[in-house]
Chain A
Amino acid sequence: MDYLRNFFVNLARSWTAWIGGFLPDWGVNLVNYLVVGIILVLMPVIATLTLTWMERKVIGRIQNRIGPNRVGPWGIFQAFADAVKMLIKEDIVPSGADKPVFNLAPILIAGAAALLWAVVPFGRGMIGQNLNIGALYVVAVGSITTIAVIMAGWSSNNKFALLGAFRVVAQLLSYEIPMVLSIATVVLVTGTMRMGDIVERQVAPFIVVLPVAFITYLLAAAAETGRAPFDLLEADSEIVAGYFVEYSGLKFGWFYIAEYGNLFAIAAITTTLFLGGWRGPFVSVAPALGPFYFVIKSVAVIFVLMWIRGTWPRFRIDQMLAFAWKVLVPASLANLLWSAIVLQIGRQPEQLGPTIVQMILLLVGNVAILAVTGLLLGRAARRYAAQHGWAGA
């Protein structure tokens, strides 16, 4: 029973003790790194196999359809069938394409999607590496995606792909700023960039302490992963699929896997930063519950993103960029400054995480920022409607 309470960590300990019997210390480390690495690298693939099914079902229900229901019970093997199809499909490289760049792009994007998982804390002590620059690592690795997408769009020798790549540059760059600022707010409040420690210091989930940062991060993350309503980079009805229109077979498959791997990773990072990560009832008694809470919270975030996708129409590119620069950036800068002011009240140099008074003040400031942003947005919308003669809004 005691073993089961902290099952995953105990399992790792027994395993290390067992291979430690016949391997030197560096060998044990190497084998452990390889095992953990392979498990984490497979996360985007696992995410794709489960989340594509979930997405089709959820979107199907929202649109009053049933969704996949032929391959296996409730269609759960649909994704496996698709995977086999992609593996045995002929690969077409368009004439005039820049071949090395064309072939490198899917490798780069899939690798970047896997790299994010190195700092995701699934439970106490269950993290690839609790890097001292964890939060910055997330931002840095996330921007590799941009390069891969530009490479794909540029090398395809296709105008749709190039247009998609241009949109990607503008969109990902613009939305990276609010995302970075909201992560910085969390780092400021917790005083650490280690993803594991951010969870440890979240006495209350930050969604109720820093709602502005949460909303900004979620919107920016949805834009970074190119999910509707921010899916201008793919926009099937305008530029067919954007930057990966010329890809087929498994090369297309890696783009697909990267997309769903990123979706899952974004949800996991949202959970870590704002929803209290693996924290939940009885976790202090039985730490083995942590990963389950973590996955449940992540899937809830993914569900919300799918819900948004199913109900909102696509933005126009100028509206989208204006929203990032004129709404999200000022709001998150104001939030950052307010957090800095609040943390001065009753400051202690060795403090770990915010005190109760600080949290209440943070919440008050956040609600005020939300209210002001809402008022200004409403005014702007009415002005726009008056200028363009719209009845609604």
Chain B
Amino acid sequence: MLSQYAFIGIFAVIAFALPVIGLVLSWLIRPKKSNPAKTTTYECGMETIGDTWVQFKAQYYLYALIFVVFDVEAIFVFPWAVAYNKLGLYALVEMALFIAILLGGLLYAWRKKALEWH
């Protein structure tokens, strides 16, 4: 059990080391002749107007909020699914209620047009 996660740990170190090694290798052999014109922000040949970090659509927040609800649900669903065979009818009723409540929330968001693009 612990040795399984030891493998994941070692694997993660190798996985993140590989791109670093690649970038170092590339840093050694690539040309480095930067100038101000090269480092300007790319915008199809024109100068950018104003600040980049602008306000953005509030719609994105609504999706994030609905996502949080359903992602938390997913955390409950996985252990339930693994243990389902041992739990019996009670688990079915329990999860059906849970999903019904969530579906109620989704339906509410739907009727309130939170899923439309304004």
Interface residues of A (CB under 8 A from B): 29-30, 33-34, 36-38, 40-42, 86-96, 103, 106-108, 110-112, 114-115, 118, 128-132, 135-136, 139, 154, 157-160, 162, 166, 169-170, 173-174, 176-177, 180-181, 184-185, 187-188, 191-193, 240, 245-246, 249-251, 253-254, 317-318, 321-322, 325-326, 329-330, 333, 336-337, 340-341, 343-344, 347-351
Contact = CB atoms under 8 A, between A and B. Distances in A.
Contacts of A322: 115-117
A337 B96 contact: yes
A336 B30 contact: no
3 residue pairs, one from A and one from B, having the closest CB atoms: A318-B117, A188-B81, A114-B15
Contacts of A180: 71, 74, 77
A344 B92 contact: yes
A325 B11 contact: no
How many residues of B sit at the interface, in one of the four size bands?
Answer: 35 or more
B11 A343 contact: no
Main secondary structure of the interface of B (DSSP, over half): helix
A193 to B, nearest CB: 6
B7 A90 contact: no
Contact of B26 (A42, A88, A174, A337): A88
B67 to A, nearest CB: 4
Nearest to B68: A173
A110 B19 CA distance: 7
Contacts of B52: 96, 157-159, 162
Contacts of A317: 117
B32 interface: yes
Contacts of A251: 23
Contacts, number: 217
B26 A37 contact: no
Contacts of A93: 39
A87 B29 contact: yes
A325 B33 contact: no
Contacts of A131: 4, 8
Nearest to B9: A33
A128 B7 contact: yes
Contacts of A325: 66, 106, 110, 115
Contact of A111 (B16, B38, B40, B110): B16
A341 B38 CA distance: 62
Interface in B63-112: 63-64, 66-67, 70-71, 74, 77-78, 81-82, 84-86, 88-89, 91-92, 95-96, 99, 102-103, 106, 110
Contacts of B29: 87-88
A115 B11 contact: yes
A132 B3 CA distance: 12
Nearest to B33: A90
Nearest to B87: A349
A169 B64 contact: yes
Nearest to A173: B67
Indicate the member of A29, A37, A96, A337 with the most B CB atoms within 10 Å: A37
A229 to B, nearest CB: 18
12 contacts: A37-B11, A108-B16, A129-B4, A158-B48, A174-B67, A240-B42, A246-B41, A254-B23, A333-B102, A337-B99, A344-B89, A350-B85
Contact of A162 (B18, B53, B116): B53
Given A111-B15, A159-B52, A333-B99, A92 B38 contact: yes
Contact of B115 (A29, A326, A343): A326
A103, A112, A184, A336 — most chain B CB neighbours (10 Å)? A184
Nearest to B29: A88
B18 to A, nearest CB: 5
A213 to B, nearest CB: 12
A191 B79 CA distance: 10
